[in-house]
Amino acid sequence: MIALGCDHGGFELMQQVKRHLESKGLAFQDFGCSGTDPVDYPDYAAQVARAIQDGVCDRGILICGTGIGISIAANKFKGIRAALCSDCFSAWATRMHNDANILAMGGRVLGTGVALMIVDTFLDTPFSGDERHARRIEKISALEA
């Protein structure tokens, strides 16, 4: 199950992401927002992060205007590794190397075509499982205050 969250700056792109996931038959839970009226992105980052922490969802996609604020907020949550991606290589590498569990994107940064390719790459790429990457992820976890 994929957890989705966005603010007003990410709303339009999120509608495209939802249509794309539906076309692929992928299940998601939409935590909002519900339109283009201004909202606060930390509220939506928190809902998606908690859905992953609770095991309700195993991956998340967060979109705000830049993807920056919403990824900063999500990364405050223990066990969350939110990666802001604007290209497919980063989406591939953050799964292979960082085992990222949330993809963040900027709705005011990306066109729909590249964004949907980033989504596919993020969802289709496994964690490598390499010892050196697992060790580094453990060190990230150890930094959590």
For the chain, how far is it from start to end, CA to CA, in angstroms? 28
Task: Give the number of residues in contact with ligand RB5, rule: CB under 6 A.
Answer: 8
Specify whether 64 is catalytic.
Answer: yes
Specify whether 133 is catalytic.
Answer: no
Give the Å distances, CA to CA, from 93 to 22, 87, 128.
Answer: 25, 10, 9
Q: Which residue's CB is nearer to ligand RB5, number 64 or number 99? A: 64
Does position 64 interact with ligand RB5 (CB under 6 A)? The reply is yes
Does position 7 interact with ligand RB5 (CB under 6 A)? The reply is yes
β-pair partners for 142: none
Query: Are the C-beta atoms of residues 105 and 116 closer than 8 Å to each other?
Result: no
Binding mask 21-50 vs ligand RB5 (x if CB under 6 A, - otherwise)?
--------------------x---------
Which residues does the annotation mark as catalytic?
64, 97
> What residue ranges bind ligand RB5 (CB under 6 A)?
7, 9, 41, 64-66, 68-69
